[in-house]
Structure formats: C-alpha cells, structure tokens
Amino acid sequence: MAVLWITVVVVLFDQATKLMVKGSPWHWLPLEGLPYGHSQPFIDDIFRITYIENPGIAFGINIPGFKVVFAVFSIVASVAILIYLKRNLYRLRLGERIALALILGGAVGNLIDRVFYGVIYHEQPLFYGRVVDFIDFGIHRNMFPVFNVADSCVTIGVTLLVILLMRHKQAEPAVTGNSASSEPESTTQEHIALPS
C-alpha cells in the first residue's frame, strides 16, 4: 500500500519536531530542546513555538484519570484504520486513501508519546506518557489550544474525508436522476418495436 508512505512520513516528521522541542533522551543524539513552558516567537507574535505537554486527547484537551483509556483507544483506532485501508484499498478513491493515511499517521504519532515517552524519558510508566505540543497561533495570546504535527494531520485528514464524502453524496442524486430519466425512453422504444 503505497499510500502508507504518507503515514510513515507524518510519524517521522511528527516525532522529529517533538524531539527538537522536548530534547533527546539519548546521548548519541545531542538535542537540547526547550525549557518546559518556554514560548519563542517564530513569525512576529502570530506564530510561536510554545513547549507544553498534554496528558489528554488532543489540542490540550484533558480528562483526568483517562490516560490509559486514551492510549488503548488510539491503538484500537489505528489498527481499525489500517485494516479498513487494507480491505478497501481498491474501492476507496485516492483522496479518501490519503485522508485515512493522514489520520493514521497523526494517531500513531501521538500514540508513541502516550505509550512510550514516559518510559523513554524516565518520567512515567508505560502508557502514562504525555503528548508534546508546541504549535501556538494567536496575536499576543493563544487563539487556539497549543497543538502538534500529529494533531494537524488528523484534523486535515478528517476535514478532507468529510469534504469528499459530502461531494460524493451530492453527486449521487444526479447519477440516480440520469438513470431514471433514461428508463422511460428505452421502454418507449420497446413499445414502438412491438407492433412490427
């Protein structure tokens, strides 16, 4: 499935950006990262790199006591998308495959944080890691919750999928109408041919 290369690129880029922000836990990869809570202007004061960590779902949303639930849900959702892609590869249109690959990449990217980051950084047990967020938009203040590359890809993938499904729904009545209008004509031709 060539479309899964999109998923691989999303996961690699997501994890690379998080390592640059959080810093590397390995001596052989000297990345210092940013101090926790540090906010650095990137484009004037509209786009900032703000390092925070989210123990919840996405975009800073957190429900206390549900860390393991979020991690397990992410695993189930990722496996479900992968199976669906494999089973419906030739039935899905290209845009739908790309959208699902983006969603899968984003889900896996944040899943790595939740499941492994606590252990890798010697902070929490397995499944208790926190998701690294750093993309911060807003003029002089947060316009949106701070998010990351994985969140962006999930959002883009879901939006693309909804648009494609809506366009497909709108195209269906036109096809049905054309087939219905052509039916009486063929019936008429049959009736005309019968007396001869």
pLDDT digits (tens, 9 = 90+) for 136-150: 988 777 678 899 999
Q: Which domain holds residue 116?
A: 40-172
Farthest-apart Cα atoms in the chain, separation:
92
* pLDDT at position 192: 40
Choose among 119, 152, 140: nearest CA to 48.
Answer: 140
Choose among 149, 121, 139, 132: nearest CA to 26.
Answer: 121
Distances (CA, A) of 164 to 150, 153, 154, 158: 21, 16, 15, 10
The C-alpha atoms of residue 151 and residue 163 are separated, in whole angstroms, by 18
Q: Which of 14, 113, 133, 136 is catalytic?
A: 133
Answer whether residue 11 is part of any domain: no
Answer whether residue 186 is part of any domain: no
The dihedral over CA atoms of 178, 184, 185, 186, expressed in degrees to the nearest 10, equals 100
Answer whether residue 122 is part of any domain: yes
Planar angle of CA 177, 183, 184, nearest 5 degrees: 110
The C-alpha atoms of residue 147 and residue 51 are separated, in whole angstroms, by 10
Answer whether residue 184 is part of any domain: no
Answer whether residue 2 is part of any domain: no
* pLDDT at position 193: 46
* pLDDT at position 60: 57
For the chain, percent of residues with pLDDT exceeding 90 = 62
Answer whether residue 93 is part of any domain: yes
For the chain, percent of residues with pLDDT exceeding 70 = 82
Known catalytic residue at 133: yes
Known catalytic residue at 151: yes
The dihedral over CA atoms of 50, 51, 55, 57, expressed in degrees to the nearest 10, equals 40
- Total domains in the fold of the chain: 1
Q: Which of 14, 113, 136, 151 is catalytic?
A: 151
> Is 154:11 a contact under the CB 8 Å cutoff?
no
Centre a 10 Å sphere on the Cβ of residue 46 and count the other Cβ atoms it contains: 13
* pLDDT at position 181: 52
Answer whether residue 68 is part of any domain: yes
Residue 11 has pLDDT above 50, yes or no: yes
Q: Where are the beta strands (DSSP E) in 10-99?
A: 39-43, 47-54
Answer whether residue 18 is part of any domain: no
What are 151-194's pLDDT values in tens digits? 999 999 999 999 999 998 888 765 555 555 555 544 444 444 44
Of 54 and 15, more confident: 15
The C-alpha atoms of residue 158 and residue 44 are separated, in whole angstroms, by 30
pTM: 0.83
Distances (CA, A) of 127 to 45, 58, 61, 73, 154: 35, 16, 17, 11, 21
